[in-house]
Amino acid sequence: MKCSSCGLVFALPRPDESQLIEFYHGLSSGLKDFSSAQSFIRRMKFRHVTSTIKKYFPSGKQIRLLEIGCSQGQLLDAVKGDNQIVATGIDLDTAALERARNNGHNVLEGTLESLKFPDESFDAIVAIHVIEHLHSPVDTLAEMNRILSPGGIVFSIVPCVSHIKARLAGIKWKYYTPPAHLWFFSRKTFSLLHQKAGFKTVYSSCFYNRAHLRAIGRKVRKVGVSAAD
């Protein structure tokens, strides 16, 4: 479906949240072993993410970072030994989290909402290919807002429905796979999501060889549960 007002593309019917959690638990334990070359490339990609995040904070400031959907902890591996970043990861995959713990990472099992972090617990949140899977992106972004410090940022990567590859593929686009993917954003609709959840988009681009939208939102105001209305 496509909203005639804002242009947001989304899947209907939408499973309820408990069904989605059950679905993702069913996909768990897909552990991967990467070659040394693959591991190096992934570390470089994740270090680019974290170096980008650092640009939004004063030099030398310690950044409390949360990764949502951390899996085995590849991004956490990339910041290991970085004294500026204190990283925490969350995921639903028990086996992947156990591997991350064995590598010395601080990780927790559960959804963002279920873990109930205190207000302003983090300075930055990373959500790479997470938001398109959520039952209610506005509610989850509002929860991110609550646990971010003033001026905190959220770094997201989602499939980009306005990318040339998506437009050429039409209904056969590889990311049209509900219930795995429920929301399909363009730069415009993702910025609207940011606004509704109390963020200002400070970077947004889908100018990549892959049909991905990268976006950074900065917290500009607090929001309450009414953000989902």
pLDDT tens-digit readout, 84-114: 999 999 999 999 999 999 999 999 999 999 9
Q: Is the pLDDT of residue 228 over 50?
A: no
Locate the DSSP E strands across 141-190.
148-159, 183-184
Q: How far apart are CA 23 and CA 8, in angstroms?
A: 24
Angle at the Cα of 63 (from 212 to 35), degrees rounded to 5?
50
Q: Does residue 184 lie in a domain region?
A: yes
Q: Does residue 126 lie in a domain region?
A: yes
Q: Report the percent of the chain where pLDDT is more than 70.
A: 94
Would you state the structure tokens that stand for residue 68, as one six-digit string?
Answer: 């949502």
Beta-strand pair 9-10/183-184: antiparallel
pLDDT at 16: 87
Contact 89, 110 (CB under 8 A): no
Handedness of CA 41, 99, 102, 104 (dihedral sign): positive
Q: At what angle do helices 187-196 and 137-147 cross, to 10 degrees?
A: 50
What pairs with residue 216 in β-bridges? 155, 203
Total count of domains within the chain: 1
Neighbouring C-alpha atoms within 13 Å toward the C-beta of 58: 3
Q: Does residue 16 lie in a domain region?
A: no
Q: Does residue 215 lie in a domain region?
A: yes
Q: Does residue 1 lie in a domain region?
A: no
Contact 87, 70 (CB under 8 A): no
- The backbone torsions φ and ψ at residue 99, rounded to the nearest 5 degrees and listed phi first, read -65, -40
Q: Is the pLDDT of residue 26 over 70?
A: no
Q: What's the pLDDT tens digit per position in 36-80? A: 777 778 788 999 999 999 999 999 899 999 999 999 999 999 999
Cis preceding linkage at 13, omega within 30 = yes
> Could you write out the DSSP letters of every residue in 131-147?
GGG-S-HHHHHHHHHHH
Q: Does residue 3 lie in a domain region?
A: no
pLDDT at 89: 98
Q: How far apart are CA 20 and CA 11, in angstroms?
A: 13
What pairs with residue 183 in β-bridges? 10
* Amino acid residing at 155: F
- CATH code, 167: 3.40.50.150
Contact 174, 184 (CB under 8 A): no
Which domain range does residue 166 map to? 58-221
